[in-house]
Chains A and B, each alone.
Chain A
Amino acid sequence: MFAETALNVRDKKVQGLFRLIFGMMTVLLIIPVLVIMGMLIYKGGSVISIDFLFTAPTDGMTAGGIFPALFGTVWLVAVALLISVPIGIAAAIYLSEYASDSWFTRIINLAIINLAGVPSIVHALFGVGAFVVFFGFGTSILAASLTLAIMTLPVVIVSTRESLQAVPQAFREACWAMGATRWQTIRRVVLPNSVTGILTGVILEVSRTTGETAPIMFTGAVFFTPLLPQSVFDQTMAMSLHLFVVATQVPGVPEELPFGVALVLIGMVLAMNSVSIALRMYLRGRKKW
């Protein structure tokens, strides 16, 4: 073995120092958030019960549960998905399977980046101007879900495109060589080989859509309504807006109630993200190519 020179020793020390500094930065980034999560659980945990989840708010929203908000969020997310998933997957198929590397494709990509980057409140203004006023849907689940769908479309497009592109080109070529059309190739070879990847993207979108507040505030979600929505033209309560309302707009709310709402909301979002991550890891472990 070589003897360690003074230079080697110094290098090792410097390297150890940098490792420590960057490691500390990572830890400092994560610890505060974990502490905050711990406080949320500590303060809100006692509120959560089956009753809390399945009854309506009572006494001017200072007591009772969150069922109408939960139910409304499910409606909003479901309708938004019905709109954005087909469009998003089709757009990803175009970008991955048809589009050439041209200025036109680049403009589409730029539009996707912009769609993801436009502030959520501007999406809300768009929803009001286009769906509530211009198309005359009024403040309704339909208007809110359309706004959410357009806002979260980039999530589906980007993740679907990635999983389509992960299918080896040789699979397609083999299929074309058998005389299959492009669409037959996509349907029989590309999509079956990427369906789990697409699903992870869709779950991520569900999670994003669940947490959004600004886009639905003026397009379809309301502070309080005693009625559960019957159709897409009704207004509804929603979890994210409900948290905002009980935290700021209602006087006399017991301190723990908003913590309970926040905990349920964050639990829903993180649970969905975890499922998406687990699915991705399962997929990677199973990959044959």
Chain B
Amino acid sequence: MNHPVTTDFDRRDRDWYMDKLVQLVVFVSGISAIVFVIGIFVFVTKEGMGFIFNTMDPVEFFTSQYWEPSDEDAPEYGILALIAGTASVTGLALLVSIPFSLGAAIFIGEFATGKSREFLKILVELLAAIPSVVWGFIGLTIMNPIIIDVFDVPVGLSVLNAGIILGLMTAPIMTSIAEDALKAVPDRYREAAEAMGATRWQVIFKVVLPAAKNGLLGAVLLGVGRGFGETMAVLLATGHSVNIPHSIFDPVRALTATIAAELGETAVGSDHYQALFTIGIFLFAITFIINLTADLVVRGVRNG
């Protein structure tokens, strides 16, 4: 007897098609992040391209300290002073935030216990949520008079002000990422070290910190990226004058703040408008490299 091959077990019913449809939808959403990142690059480049190919003198752009785009006769497009502004503010901010946030992460992750640890973590999370425009406002209205009083300087909007504000802003973010990195170190490392008679601080310095090294470096890098790209806070707290700073009391102007302050007054497609987009491309490229490096560094620890 020969049975013909039957297909009564065809599973392609309504549920099967639904399943495939959902798979397609979530896949498309999954790759949307890639599409958006490429989209950002394409559209920002598209708007800035005319300037790069026609008007821009690359050497002048990166080495001139004169940013005078609204000069009718001879507009100058040099971003050196803006780079110096961003770098000085971010540098000072990191000087404030790296030691404090690593210290806080070690305290929360390794020393604090139970309720107090929970409380500190929540506090850090809430601090990280304060919007940047509020930080800028704090720099403008609260830090400014304090700096004038304490240091006896004529203006309180300066590298110092913006650096402190940005430091306070990035510290909670760095703290929670660094704390995650410490938490990622397996407990058996600590237990093994303690079983050998190591004290708490020996465990932290000789075992936990070396093991979490890459994660901590990743936290610092993400902090750098965050400080570098911050806009509203530095717009309000730096004093916003194009200037290569000679002391921390000098006002400066940041790359991001320049775009925020000037984009509204430019005509779409003008040289000035395109120059601002070119700064945007530069910012995008730098943060892309920082994020890529942070990712590679953090990955390194997982594979190694």
The residues of A with any CB-CB pair to B shorter than 8 Å are 11-12, 14-15, 18-19, 21-23, 25-26, 28-30, 32-33, 36, 39-40, 86-88, 90-91, 93-95, 97-99, 107-115, 117-126, 128-130, 133-134, 150, 153-154, 157, 181-184, 186, 207-208, 210-214, 217-218, 240-241, 243-244, 247-248, 258-259, 262, 265-266, 269-270, 273-274, 277
Contact = CB atoms under 8 A, between A and B. Distances in A.
B302 to A, nearest CB: 11
B107 A23 contact: yes
A39 B133 CA distance: 16
B106 A22 contact: yes
Contact of A111 (B33, B126, B222, B229): B33
Contact of B134 (A30, A211, A241): A211
B185 interface: no
Given A91-B33, A113-B295, A211-B133, A129 B43 contact: yes
Given A93-B29, A130-B43, A277-B126, 20 more contacts: A21-B103, A22-B111, A26-B107, A30-B124, A30-B127, A111-B36, A115-B33, A117-B288, A118-B229, A119-B256, A121-B259, A122-B283, A125-B259, A129-B46, A133-B268, A153-B33, A217-B260, A247-B140, A273-B125, A274-B126
B264 to A, nearest CB: 6
Interface-centre pick from A119, A182, A244, A258 (highest chain B CB count, 10 A): A119
Given A122-B44, A247-B236, A269-B131, A14 B291 contact: no
A88 B36 CA distance: 12
Given A22-B103, A25-B107, A126 B26 contact: no
5 contacts: A93-B26, A98-B27, A118-B37, A182-B22, A217-B260
A113 B33 CA distance: 9
A207 B176 CA distance: 18
Interface-centre pick from A14, A19, A32, A181 (highest chain B CB count, 10 A): A181
B125 A125 contact: no
A108 B32 CA distance: 9
A25 B99 contact: yes
The 9 closest A-B pairs by CB, nearest first: A211-B131, A119-B229, A25-B103, A94-B30, A90-B29, A22-B107, A129-B43, A94-B26, A181-B19
A73 to B, nearest CB: 11
Contacts of B120: 26, 30
A18 B201 contact: yes
Contact of A133 (B16, B33, B47): B47
B45 to A, nearest CB: 9
A94 B27 contact: yes
Interface-centre pick from B134, B175, B263, B288 (highest chain A CB count, 10 A): B134
Contact of A26 (B108, B264, B290): B108
A217 B256 CA distance: 13
